[in-house]
Amino acid sequence: MNDIPSETGLDRRAFMRTFTAVGLGSTLLPGVLWARVAEGAELTTDTIACAEEIAGVQLEPEQREMILQDVQEQRQQLEALHAVSIPNEVPPALLFSPLIPEAARAAAPARGKPVRSRVALRARPGNLEELAFAPVTELSEMLRRRRVTSTELTRMYLDRIRRYDPALHAVVTVTEERALRQARAADQEIARGRYRGPLHGIPWGAKDLLAVRGYPTTWGVGVYRDRVVDEDATVVQRLDAAGAVLIAKLTLGELAWGDVWFGGMTRNPWNPEQGASGSSAGVGSATAAGLVAFGIGSETLGSISSPSTRNGVTGLRPTFGRVPKTGAMALSWSMDKLGPMCRSAEDCALVLDTIHGADGQDSSAHDAPFRWDARVSPRQLRIGYFQSAFERDEAQYPTKRFDLAVLDVLRSLGATLIPVEVPEVPYNTMSIILGAEAGAAFDEYTRTGLVDQMVRQGRNTWPTVFRAARFIPAVDYINANRVRTMAMQRWAELFRNLDVIVTPTFAPNQLLATNLTGHPAAILPNGFREDGTPVSITFLGDLFGESKMLAVAHAYQAATDFHRRHPTLPVSG
């Protein structure tokens, strides 16, 4: 095995150094073989021997001869596979469900009308822009009581987009014609006494990975800047049916990573020198800046959590499968989630009440019931907190004082907090799941060279991740998902005696773990640094346990005012 024939044109040690330098030396890499073939190497037993060296597998010469024919047949199969054009929205036949057998119960209560908190009816302000930062709970009452019209609100938000977005870069496309048409229809219906519910007439924005008929859906990349998908995503259809008014498609980092897109960097309205974080950058920035009343974002691994934190908004990452993804860009079929980013936890509950449930098209979507009840008190629930995460040294945990204050508020509300820990599972070993699925989702995009036109190149960017994904073995992808099952079992045990868990948003392993297990999270502001930028705390719920999780978040927000603060906005010169 150590004697690789010189006629292969390969130097064994140089070959090993190359792959060791990029951190792949000890990993099984079936892609090594095909990479060598793509470079012009002939498919022979010697080429197989080179791949063995990287793979850590040792075969006898006669074994190599026997598998050579199989490998040659595999090459033909791969070439045939590459010739098939697979639309992004087509999922693999193997579907992920967060529900292990013992957790296959609905954590939410039975269906029923939402029970909202009481909201004092605001007087109509002399300047409508005073409503730009009002939560949906207040705007909906003003609309229902006809203190303001949807057309007035829509024009006010559109004017703010024109004035402030040149500095924030949060909007890809303004859907003005559609919005004004919807707003006029909402006003007419409300005037006739047909009130559809709390989102009727409310202007909102969609992350630009959601298809909207008649408007570009860019996914944040320049090659798609003019592409129009001839359909409305399911969440868009459901919000249309609720009478909500779509006024803009909002930015996302290229193919849902970061805050850089083909139009530049989306900015944090609290500090325009900062990016808005991502990938739901535009949703976070526009909501915080009062350009929309709420937005719909998505998370695969932090894309709601991070921009909610950076921009000081309240984000809801629902249970995996709670909201159908039909009409949304697929990045990772087993990790993608759609959810609202709003001004309050109750706003998130009202939006979730509209968009959740199976649609008959997304086979991963569940029809578990959801019922919002704002009366639920923390003292009625079993609330845990990740003790060691809160006890870390401040040098590695600069938001410690803000997070500890959250525990004090919850105790003052009557909560008995139970110390628990993040279940011990080798979470990092599962990171390849996202890489493999993202690589598959954009394999043709990578092979045809479109990936070379992305703005961000180099380490820790999609082009590199997509290329590296071809080196992930199918065996290891499957085994990583088996470890995932172990993680799901540990988290099911953890939640057996808990309803909600409080955690620092970026506690070790928390974000990766819960995105892999599919658990829901509510991310909300809990303070401001000395430079005026917001920080966040996260509440976790059991699978399909958003109602209890959001009830705790709502109670916390009723006792604090961080979510009601808003930035002073920059105006482009």
Tell me the three-class secondary structure of 528-564, residue by residue: ECCCCCEEEEEEEECCCCHHHHHHHHHHHHHCCCHHH
In a domain, 494, yes or no: yes
Band of the pLDDT at 7, cuts 50, 70, 90?
very low
DSSP for 191-206 reads HTT----TTTT-EEEE
pLDDT at 92: 82
pTM of the full predicted structure?
0.89
Q: Which three-class secondary structure state does DSSP give residue 527?
A: strand
Q: pLDDT band for position 32 (50/70/90)? A: low
Q: What is the C-alpha separation between 106 and 122, in angstroms, rounded?
A: 38
Report pLDDT for 60: 81
Kindly state the percentage of the chain with pLDDT values over 90: 75
Helix (H) or strand (E) holding 466, with range, is: helix 462-469
- Across the chain, mean pLDDT equals 89
Ranges 36-40, 433-437, 464-468, 552-556, most confident: 552-556
Same domain assignment for residues 68 and 161: no
> What is the pLDDT, as a whole number, of residue 524?
98
Whether residue 469 lies inside any domain: the answer is no
97: its two tokens: 């469900």
545/170 Cα distance (integer angstroms): 31
E strand or H helix that includes residue 350: helix 345-355
Alpha helical stretches, state H, 392-533: 400-412, 432-441, 443-447, 462-469, 474-495, 510-517
Residues 11 and 66 in one domain: yes
Same domain, yes or no: 168 and 262:
yes
Amino acid identity for residue 136 in this structure: V
- Which residue segment(s) compose the domain that 41 sits in? 1-84
Residue 451 lies in a domain: no
pLDDT at position 40, please? 63
Degrees to nearest 5, angle at CA 460 with 456 and 462: 55
**338 and 420 share a domain?**
yes
pLDDT at residue 54, as a whole number: 61
> Is 67 contained in some domain?
yes
Q: How is the chain split among helix, strand and coil, in percent rounded to 5?
A: 40, 15, 45
Q: Give the mean model confidence (pLDDT) for residues 512-532.
A: 97
Do 77 and 142 share a domain, yes or no?
A: no
CA-to-CA separations, 509 to 417, 422, 489, in angstroms, rounded: 21, 8, 16
Q: Supply the DSSP string of 149-175, one letter for each residue.
A: -HHHHHHHHHHHHHHHHHHH--EEEE-
Least confident range of 18-27, 102-111, 223-232, 463-472: 18-27
Quickly count: other Cβ atoms within 10 Å of residue 11's Cβ.
12
Higher pLDDT: 66 or 27? It is 66
pLDDT classification of 56: cutoffs 50, 70, 90:
low
Q: Domain holding 142: CATH number?
A: 3.90.1300.10
Beta strands at 314-317 and 521-528: parallel, antiparallel or unpaired: antiparallel
Q: Position 368: which residue type? A: A
The verdict on residue 175 lying in a domain is yes
**pLDDT tens digits for range 91-104:** 787 889 998 775 54
In a domain, 439, yes or no: no
117-119-120 Cα angle (round to 5): 155
Answer yes or no: do 318 and 184 share one domain. yes
In a domain, 461, yes or no: no
Residues 152 and 159 sit within 8 Å (Cβ to Cβ): no
Judged against a pLDDT cut of 80, whether residue 39 lies above it is answered with no
List CB contacts of 212: < 8 A, sequence separation 6 or more.
175, 178, 206, 229, 232, 233, 236, 246, 249
Model pLDDT for residues 322-372, shown as the tens digit of each residue: 999 999 999 999 999 999 999 999 999 999 999 999 999 999 999 999 999
Pair (57, 142) in one structural domain: no
In the predicted structure, residue 532 carries a pLDDT above the cut 50: yes
Number of domains in the chain: 2
Q: pLDDT-derived band of residue 76, with 50, 70 and 90 as boundaries?
A: confident
Tens of pLDDT, residue by residue over 382-395, are 999 999 999 999 99
> Which has the closest alpha carbon to 295: 271, 321, 269, 314?
314
65 and 137 inside one domain: no
Residues 60 and 148 placed together within one structural domain of the fold: no
pLDDT-derived band at 24 (thresholds 50, 70, 90) equals very low
Q: Are residues 395 and 275 in the same domain?
A: yes
* DSSP per position, 12-49: HHHHHHHHHHTT-TTS--HHHHHHHHHTT---SHHHHH
Are 71 and 181 contained in the same domain?
Answer: no
Active site residues: 207, 279, 303
Q: Are residues 78 and 153 located together in one domain of the fold?
A: no
Instruction: Note whether residue 408 is domain-resident.
Output: yes
Mean pLDDT of all residues in 441-453? 92
Other Cβ atoms less than 10 A from the Cβ of 91: the count is 17
Reported as a pLDDT band with limits 50, 70 and 90, residue 159 is very high
* Structure-model confidence comparison of residues 517 and 93, the more confident one: 517
**Among the ranges given (5-14, 67-76, 285-294), the one the predictor scored with the smallest mean pLDDT:** 5-14
Q: How confident is residue 167, by pLDDT bands cut at 50, 70 and 90?
A: very high
